[in-house]
Amino acid sequence: MSLNLQTHTEHFTNPLYLESGRILEPYDITYETYGTLNEDKSNVVVVCHALTGSHHAAGTYEDDNKPGWWNGLIGSKKAIDTDEYFVICANVIGSCFGSTGPMSPMHPHQQPYRYKFPVITVKDMVKAQRILFDRLDIHHVHAIVGGSMGGMQALQFAVHYPKFATKIIALATTYATQPWAIAFNKVAQEAILKDPDFKQGYYDPDVIKEQSLSGMAIGRMAGHLSFLSHESMQRKFGREYKSTDGLYELFGKFQVESYLEYNGYNFTKWFDPLTYLYITKAINIFDLARGFDSLQEALQKVQSEIYLISFSNDLLFRNYEMKELDNLLNEVGNKNHKYIDIKSDYGHDAFLVELDKFDNHIKEALHG
């Protein structure tokens, strides 16, 4: 069967009341669907994306050759089987791929919000998706699946909309962002902010894509490091040196340096730097316990089945953070959760690249 990939944008004129007390109004949400909604609307699987992800989770556009970021997981006969499920992935509020974000025009002007854009939280991202699903007349879903910031969204759904999903599957994530991850984001944010071409947020978005903003590139390099591991880098690059460079040239490069540079500068062509500041802010202040007296109290709200999948060598969100969450779920008497630690030496990136190590767990969770 075909993937039945469809991309849509919904426009909302009602105010979105944000966790900060501020209001976003009006706003757009761009989303993608795969598969077909069944008659009783019981086959919906929501997929949530990470920091630099988008609604384009699966399939390939006609004019592009890059498949969606979880293409190996979503499709006909794949773990999230589009012959069976109707999959929805929305670009989060605050991002830069169609949903309203800091570089969107600020109503009623045509100028971008820039720093006038309110700080968005993971809870806000989830709330906006819930409103989108209401618009689509979907009031209950079979499952919500996501990794990294997508996993944060899945957990936030579980706590704040306890009756909304039958199953929550959160991968490579945490219950609250820890200082190591915040510190990596800090390096990236500082590099963006101190880049004179960033013009304190008043850059021209068209110009900036052309000129390869160095601050964003440096930030991406730091981010990249946090997604990888010693082992994956060792395997991929070792101490290979560029054959064209002299070992004793100050600017001679190891392959790993060349790779980081290429990826860093390439990133600036497709991701907006101000958006990077806003999304990393949302990640930094993510805390599932906010608004509750304790994380235990938050977890007592959960009614969905919870599947937690960590990766043994994840350096960004450590597997013991997921283990802690599992322990706390036990502590509050939750009977419907399962914790799985996947042996991997790919680091945080494992949730995007080592699909064969966990896709059966996703499949089982969806059918269990």
Q: Rounded to 5 degrees, what are φ and ψ at 355?
A: -55, -35
Active site residue 148: yes
CB 366 within 8 A of CB 45: yes
Closest approach, Cβ 221 to a second copy, in A, equals 5
> How far from the centroid of its chain's Cα atoms is residue 197's Cα?
27
Structure tokens at 104: 């969107």
Establish if 261 lies at the interface with a second copy (CB under 8 A): yes
Q: Tell me whether residue 247 or residue 335 sits nearer to a second copy (CB atom).
A: 247
Q: Tell me whether residue 8 or residue 290 sits nearer to a second copy (CB atom).
A: 290
CB 55 within 8 A of CB 98: yes
* C-alpha neighbours within 13 Å on the C-beta side of residue 249: 10
Establish if 239 lies at the interface with a second copy (CB under 8 A): yes
Establish if 283 lies at the interface with a second copy (CB under 8 A): no
Structure tokens at 67: 């498949």
Q: Rounded to 5 degrees, what are φ and ψ at 48?
A: -115, 135
Establish if 341 lies at the interface with a second copy (CB under 8 A): no
Closest approach, Cβ 230 to a second copy, in A, equals 4
Closest approach, Cβ 20 to a second copy, in A, equals 4
Establish if 176 lies at the interface with a second copy (CB under 8 A): yes
Find all residues with CB under 8 Å of 348, minimum gap 6, and list them. Answer: 148, 172, 226, 227, 228, 229, 311, 314, 315, 316, 317
CB 296 within 8 A of CB 331: yes
| Catalytic residue (choose from 314, 337, 344, 361) | 314
Active site residue 314: yes
Closest approach, Cβ 276 to a second copy, in A, equals 12
Residues that bind a second copy (CB under 8 A): 19-22, 115, 118-119, 121, 176-180, 182-184, 186-187, 190-191, 194-196, 214-215, 217-218, 221-222, 224-225, 228-230, 233-234, 236-239, 247-250, 254, 256-257, 260-261, 264, 277-278, 281, 284-285, 287, 315, 318
Residues annotated as catalytic (active site), given as ranges = 148, 314, 348
